[in-house]
Amino acid sequence: MIHHSKSETTYQMLATTCVRKCSSLTNAKGFITDGETALQNAFQEQLKHSQSLRCFKHFENNCKNKLRDLGIKSEKDQKYFLAKTFGVRGKEEGIIDAVDGKDLRKRLRSAQNEVEEQERLTLGKDEQYAPKYWSYLNDNRKMIRRHMVDDVRRKAGLMDGENGRPKRCYTNCSESMNNIMKAAKNTFTKESGATHLTELQFTRHVFEAIHDHQVEEFQSAVAGVSDEYVLADHSKYLQVLADVWFDWSPKTRNTYIGNIQKLSMEDIFQQKDVPWPSDNMSEDRFEFRDLEVDVAGILSDHFGYSADNSIAIKREVLNLVNHPTAIQPKASLATKENLKFEVASPSARNGSVLVTVYRDHVGCVCGRYRHDNICKHSIAVAARQSILSTHFNFLKKKSKKGSRTALAEYDVNKNTAGKKGARNKNSYRPERYCSSGVEPSNQARQTFTEIHHNENQFVLMFLPQEARTCKSCEIEFCQRKQVIPFNMVFAHKERWLYPVDGDWSKAKASKKETNRFYHTAKKCILKRFPYFNWEYVEIPSHVADSLSESHRKYLRSEFQDAVV
């Protein structure tokens, strides 16, 4: 709620609107204000059965202002008077720590002589000077008794602190938001040169700008990547791992954030879970998908493409495969005809080309490379349908291995070829396969071929709370009822790819590693880590001590080389 004037009418409208919108507020035990009489009266009128409290911080600021008016301006000189009024945490109590009105009166009287003498000493006055700070506290005795002492705070429902006394009440949350709005307002007025903002200007350039920024930072805090905020301890269970967050589409993220915002504070304190968006809500929630076969190598070895052309085609195929909307099923009422897809193509007349999936290959109508049926659209769809190997086997049968320019360049000496009687300016240079100029052998290929491959151990553990989905099979772990021996998982630290500005063709590798979780099943592990063997498994001592015989028997049946 934001108000632009401090009139009684404005405060009454705020209180009335607040209680009408939130009918459960009528059951509130108490409310806190900064001490402004009109504001306090407005809410007291609407919340007749609630106890009005005064913010301790605001009253402390009032005391500091009074001391400055008296000429006691330095923090060192003010320290004694504030300690007498508010006490020193863990050492001594202050006047406002009184239990009730009677105790308050007693504390004020016992402190009078000492406080007045200290005021004269600090100001360098003689006995003729009439001290004023104690009188200021005595004048506010009625306010302190009604809105600040222990029994009043206990009546308002404040919980007891470590000292067994009701906690002090503050309006820090509201004030922090006020400071943010004031800073945004000052920034806008400085840039625009305006001295006074209309309600429309304030709403558009201050409130809405802050709200949009807060929404962005809240989403970043949920992913754990915000530079300004982190989730409070009681709500950290709602946090999502950063790599999982970037796997989700914007629509999926907004759905999850919307489900969080539906929770009440009581739900959060009770750790009420929020269902994660299902897999079918987003088509681009997987990380960067590579091709299952070496497309560039096949094009070079079996179809005579140059290295540059092969790499260029592979890059275009990867862009289509990993783009969330580039490949779409074609609508059809016929249920028995071959599956068809529309693939994005900027050069096509309608912006897309039709691709048909057959039993053992994929066909495209784009007309390119008609002599060998090689087409980036058909290769991309074959990759999406997981029939890439079958598709290339079909094409190999219909074409002959060799150079595409064999008729024009058969048995030509590249070092002397050119015009008759002339000499080549530059001698023929063979294709470069690597920095050494030598094509690598199969034996030189690395074991680790994916970004998530590394030397990190697979840590065997019992299913933790943060494990949601197996990264290999993408099936959710059953958290509600854990069944032995299937309540074990492998945790593996690995890097991930994320899109730059939503563009998967510019995907970057993460600098950090995060935990991914997998079923303790051979098919799940080998599908993602072909090099896996039991030497990569680490079993912490507390887990090894807790393994039952059924756990050990299951692991031996899944992994023949398991040592448990």
Give the containing element (helix H, strand E) for 506.
strand 503-509
How far is residue 185's CA from residue 188's CA, in Å, rounded to a whole number? Answer: 5
pLDDT at 32: 93
Say what the pTM is: 0.45
Least confident of 122-126, 362-366, 367-371, 438-442: 438-442
pLDDT of 446 higher than 60? no
Least confident of 140-144, 203-207, 361-365, 395-399: 395-399
pLDDT at 410: 45
pLDDT of 383 higher than 60? yes
How far is residue 507's CA from residue 498's CA, in Å, rounded to a whole number? Answer: 5
Give the β-pairing of 352-357 and 339-344: antiparallel
Least confident of 212-221, 284-293, 346-355: 284-293
Least confident of 135-149, 169-183, 295-309: 169-183
**Using one digit for the tens of pLDDT, what is the confidence trace for 315-345?**
899 888 888 888 999 888 877 788 899 999 8
CA angle centred on 183, ends 181 and 187, rounded to 5°: 115
Q: What is the DSSP letter of 330?
A: P
How far is residue 328's CA from residue 18's CA, in Å, rounded to a whole number? Answer: 49
Q: What is the mean pLDDT of the chain?
A: 83
Percent residues over pLDDT 90 in the chain: 27
pLDDT band, very low/low/confident/very high, at 406 (cuts 50, 70, 90): very low
pLDDT band, very low/low/confident/very high, at 53 (cuts 50, 70, 90): very high
pLDDT of 503 higher than 60? yes
How far is residue 36's CA from residue 463's CA, in Å, rounded to a whole number? Answer: 54
Residue 256 has a CB neighbour count (10 Å cut-off) of: 20
Distances in Å between the alpha carbon of 67 and those of 240, 287, 347?
50, 63, 78
How far is residue 112's CA from residue 103's CA, in Å, rounded to a whole number? Answer: 14
Range with top average pLDDT, 134-148, 369-383, 421-435: 134-148
pLDDT of 283 higher than 50? no
pLDDT of 544 higher than 70? yes
pLDDT of 405 higher than 60? no
**Closest residue by Cα to residue 324 from 505, 108, 522:** 505
For 287-376, list the strands marked E by DSSP.
327-329, 339-344, 352-357, 362-364
**Using one digit for the tens of pLDDT, what is the confidence trace for 407-417?**
444 455 555 55
pLDDT at 226: 84
Percent residues over pLDDT 70 in the chain: 89
Name residue 242's amino acid: A
Range with top average pLDDT, 400-404, 462-466, 560-564: 462-466
- Give me the helices (H) in 193-226, please: 199-202, 208-223
**Using one digit for the tens of pLDDT, what is the confidence trace for 95-132?**
999 999 999 999 999 999 999 999 999 999 998 999 99
Q: Is 116 within 8 Å of 134 (Cβ atoms)?
A: yes
Query: Helix/strand/coil (H, E, C) string of 429-486?
Result: CCCCCCCCCCCCCHHHCCCCCCCCCCCCCEEEEECCCCCCECCCCCCECCCCCCCCCC
Give the containing element (helix H, strand E) for 556.
helix 549-558
Give the containing element (helix H, strand E) for 236.
none
pLDDT of 527 higher than 50? yes
pLDDT of 299 higher than 90? no
pLDDT at 436: 39
How far is residue 410's CA from residue 417's CA, in Å, rounded to a whole number? Answer: 12
Beta bridge partners of 341: 329, 355
CB pairs under 8 A, 24+ apart, for 260-268? 260/222, 268/234, 268/235, 268/238
pLDDT of 314 higher than 70? yes
